[in-house]
Amino acid sequence: MQSTQASPEVLSVESFSSRAFAWTLVISFCVPIFFHLVRRRQNVLPFPPGPEGLPVVGNVLDMPSRNQWLTYCRWGKQYNSDIVHAKVLGTHVIVLNSTKATCELFEKRSSLYSDRPPLPSLTQLIRMSWNIAFLPYGPRWRTWRKVFHEHFHPQATRQYLPRELKATRQLLVNLLRTPNNYRDHLRFMSGQIIMGIAYGIDIAPRDDPYISLAERALQAVESASITGWTFDMLPFYMYLPWWFPGASFKKEAAILAPHIDEMLDRPYRAVKDALAKGIAVPSVAASMITGLRGEPSHEDELTSKAVPATMYLGGADTTASAFLTFFLAMVLHPNAQRRAQMEIDRVVGTARLPDFDDETTLPYVSALVKEVMRWHPVAPIAVPHRLAADDIYEGYFLPAGSIVIGNTWALLHDESVFPEPNRFWPERFLDPDVKLPDAVFGFGRRICPGRFMARSSMWITIASVLAAFEISPTTDGDGVPLMPAEDFTTGLISYPEAFACAIRPRSKCAEGLIVAAMDAP
């Protein structure tokens, strides 16, 4: 009978394979446990204080869907901490409620805090991954940021002052003709300035296709930031059908995303066509396209598209919001309006409109502009940052991958810096020791690159409107003022809710100045 016993060589190989397999199992099982224990040993420090969550889902039910900045402020006071913590399933959320915390983390440790979370509602569902505000921190972001700086550093923005002044004068004319359409006029002016800078395109006063396109794109961003947050906090929702509870934004995004694509491509194609015909006006897009050599790579062409599109989308939306807040503030606070107008009459006189050269001699007007930006900031909550590695702050453990939110509202309503923070009081900025924080424009390396132009545009517009018009509440049939509510929308950009106001020339002389502005070069 033939033996079936395996040879020693075969036994050796089989036993080696068995031992290797066993060791693989041991290593696969033990290594994660080892690193877990090491992590636990490192993580002996507590998380920052915050609302106590439920098992598994954490603080899903605690996360606010409206006016998040107010909830985060309340948490800071409730837990007596300038940094608070929540957890949504496996995602840690850290909110910074003070200048001290944002300076220490976003500024001094910017290499750790300059990344962005994926934000799939914005980057994937509505296809805005090209917007520099949402780019992850890395080579592409640094390249695009450098291009932005070339066009928007303080000296570069001086070339845009004549365009800003011309658009402001046109705004005055439009307000004189149809004051009830002031919201449309403010949006037109904001788009007129940035569209000219980004693409060299003059837009039509009414029904302009580029303005309409931008409006649809902005609607997509607003919808994503309000109703798409589920996909940002719970990424597995990306794999669920639109009819699943909480995933309905998928259906809306499929309609909105093509508008984003067109926003990126259409004005860019218009500039390319104008360059080919030799009729292009100087612009950021024109200079970038001209700088392309030979057959451009996909990355080079994407840069040439994305940079001006980001400029336009960001600039038009934010400045329009700030101007609407100014109009609301003037309706609600007539004493501040009168004091600013008295200063303009005294310094500039009534024979001309203010110019950029008047800024240093109109301190109260400048203080009023700052108070508009502080009273209700355009972006009360900054676009979230992402923590790149484990960190420790004030004895609290901050885990890698955390979503870190700068609560701009909290910084600008800090009672220790701005007494009576909810009060609209420009006088606070007449004190040279009181400064408007840069947090108005974001944090750290992610601060808005267009902030210098935004400041100059806000100043000349507000000074000119104050010089020319009286802004007041509308009245009922008995002449009783109808004061609007101090209500604002929720989203990445926050607007005053629609309100009525009366806009009238301050005098016949002021009306004459406005009419003369129509013929100004």
Annotated binding-site members:
448
- DSSP letter string over 226-273? HH-HHHHH-GGGGGS-TTSTT-THHHHHHHHHHHHHHHHHHHHHHHHH
User: What is the rounded (10 degree) CA torsion for 232, 222, 219, 412?
Assistant: -150
User: What is the rounded (10 degree) CA torsion for 356, 362, 368, 370?
Assistant: 60
Strand 385-386 vs strand 391-393: parallel, antiparallel, or unpaired? unpaired
SS3 42: helix
As a three-state string, the secondary structure of 319-370 is HHHHHHHHHHHHHHCHHHHHHHHHHHHHHCCCCCCCCHHHHHHCHHHHHHHH
Q: Where are the beta strands (DSSP E) in 65-214?
A: 83-88, 91-96
Query: Helix 451-468 and helix 298-332: axis angle, to 10°?
Result: 30
Q: Which residues contact 495 (CB under 8 A, 6 or more apart)?
A: 320, 321, 324, 488, 489
Looking up tokens 């300035």, which residue turns up? 193
Query: Helix 249-277 and helix 182-199: axis angle, to 10°?
Result: 50
**Binding-site annotation: residue ranges for heme:** 448
Instruction: Give the CA angle between residues 466, 154, 372 to the nearest 5°.
Output: 30
- Could you tell me the CA-to-CA distances from 387 to 110, 117, 299, 466 in Å, in that order? 10, 9, 27, 44
Q: In the numeric block, which tokens belong to residue 357?
A: 């050269």
Instruction: Give the CA angle between residues 211, 216, 220 to the nearest 5°.
Output: 140
> 226 phi and psi, to 5 degrees?
-95, -55
Amino acid in the structure at residue 512: G
